[in-house]
Amino acid sequence: MFDLSGKTAVVTGAGSGIGEAIARLFARQGARVAVLDRDAVAAGAVASSIGGGAHAVPCDVSSAPAVAAAFEDVDRLLGRVDILVNNAGIPHVGDLEHTTEADLDRVYSVNVKGVYLCAQAAVARMLRQGGGVILNMASIASVVAVPDRFAYGMSKGAVLTMTLSIATDYVKKNIRCNCIMPARVHTPFVDGYLAANYPGREAEMLAQLSAYQPMGRMGRPDEVAALALYLCSDEAAFVTGAAYPIDGGVLAT
């Protein structure tokens, strides 16, 4: 089950964290993987450690020319796009009063425009080849308010509605589109954020972030990757337009 042999997957933001975990798992399941990240060094390190069938493709998803060039590289290196995982995203902490116009534009450009640009590039290729799968990384902030996440919640709400729209528009064209809605996931970004903003209080703040989930811990990147594998595999062939929480019980309580 969950065999991706013969498939090509493009994973954005795959230089670390959830994207890296997805790229590694998809490769283990037989996919050829394009590791997209704006950090070319990180993308190269991940692709190199995965080995044969993985290729690093530097890409700033907020730039239309960069996305076009990246997908041309994917065409040259891998020949097709069976799966796109729109994972690249950036955070922002702040309520309405503490979100500047520049903050809003920065979050929008990556979390919304980036999904749009990559999905558009992938759909063009999927239509030519007869189908494919798109998986977007949304958030529980897509459907519930998270304090001090005004811009981030806005962007992830847009990811959810883009997912539904793509699923509806292409359901007759053999293109499925779903999204995953994680709660907090423990990635290197979290550790870096705590070290930068709460020096000396990292353990205390980590405990607070963990307690937000009723299970008492944050998710792990590999747990999100496992759900991504299901949704991008043929075992999920009857699933489209769905939003899957993976949240340690947040939405249930």
Whether 137 and 207 share a structural domain: no
Whether 120 and 233 share a structural domain: yes
Cα gap 111→9, rounded to integer Å? 20
- Which residue, among 172, 183, 184, 166, has the nearest Cα to 242 in the 3D structure? 166
In a domain, 139, yes or no: yes
Over 90: is that where the pLDDT of 193 sits?
A: no
Please, what is the average pLDDT of the chain? 97
Cα gap 35→143, rounded to integer Å? 29
Asked about 212 being catalytic, the answer comes back as no
Cα gap 115→109, rounded to integer Å? 9
Query: Which of 152, 198, 212, 244 does the annotation list as catalytic?
Result: 152
Q: What is the pLDDT of residue 189?
A: 86
In a domain, 203, yes or no: yes
pLDDT tens track for 40-84: 999 999 999 999 899 999 999 999 999 999 999 999 999 999 999
Q: What is the DSSP string of 16-27?
A: SHHHHHHHHHHH
Phi, psi dihedral angles at 26 (to 5 degrees): -60, -40
In a domain, 247, yes or no: no
pLDDT tens track for 110-165: 999 999 999 999 999 999 999 999 999 999 999 999 999 999 999 999 999 999 99
In a domain, 158, yes or no: yes
Contact 244, 181 (CB under 8 A): yes
Whether 31 and 49 share a structural domain: yes
Q: Residue 214: give the domain boundaries.
A: 186-218
In a domain, 195, yes or no: yes
pLDDT tens track for 225-246: 999 999 999 999 999 999 999 9
Q: What is the pLDDT of residue 169?
A: 98
pLDDT tens track for 3-20: 999 999 999 999 999 999
- Which residue, among 3, 37, 224, 50, has the nearest Cα to 114 in the 3D structure? 37
In a domain, 249, yes or no: no
Q: Taking the mean position of all CA atoms in its chain, how far away is CA 103?
A: 20
- Which residue, among 12, 14, 18, 25, has the nearest Cα to 221 in the 3D structure? 18
pLDDT tens track for 163-189: 999 999 999 999 999 999 999 999 988
DSSP 149: B
Tally of domains in the chain: 2
Q: What is the CATH number of the domain that holds 37?
A: 3.40.50.720
**Chain length of the chain:** 253
Whether 168 and 74 share a structural domain: yes
> In a 3-state reduction of DSSP, which class is residue 169?
helix
Whether 36 and 47 share a structural domain: yes
Whether 168 and 209 share a structural domain: no
Whether 62 and 88 share a structural domain: yes
In a domain, 107, yes or no: yes
In a domain, 157, yes or no: yes
> In a 3-state reduction of DSSP, which class is residue 113?
helix
pLDDT-based confidence at residue 196 (cuts at 50, 70, 90): confident
